[in-house]
Amino acid sequence: MWKYLLLTVLGLSLLGCSTLKTTLESTDTFAVCKTADVVTTYVGVNSGTFVEANPIVAKLLTHGWLPWIALSAGLYWALVELDNKTVTTAANIVTCGVVGNNLYF
Q: How many CB atoms lie within 10 A of CB 101?
A: 13
Judged against a pLDDT cut of 80, whether residue 12 lies above it is answered with no
Identify whether the C-beta of residue 61 lies closer than 8 Å to the C-beta of residue 77.
no
Determine the Cα–Cα distance for residues 26 and 3; give it in Å rounded to an integer.
24
| Mean pLDDT in residue range 52-66 | 91
Render pLDDT for 32-41 as a digit per residue (tens, 0 to 9): 999 999 998 9
Contact 20, 89 (CB under 8 A): no
- pLDDT in the model for residue 18: 62
What's the gap between Cα 3 and its chain centre? 15
What's the whole-number average pLDDT of the chain? 86
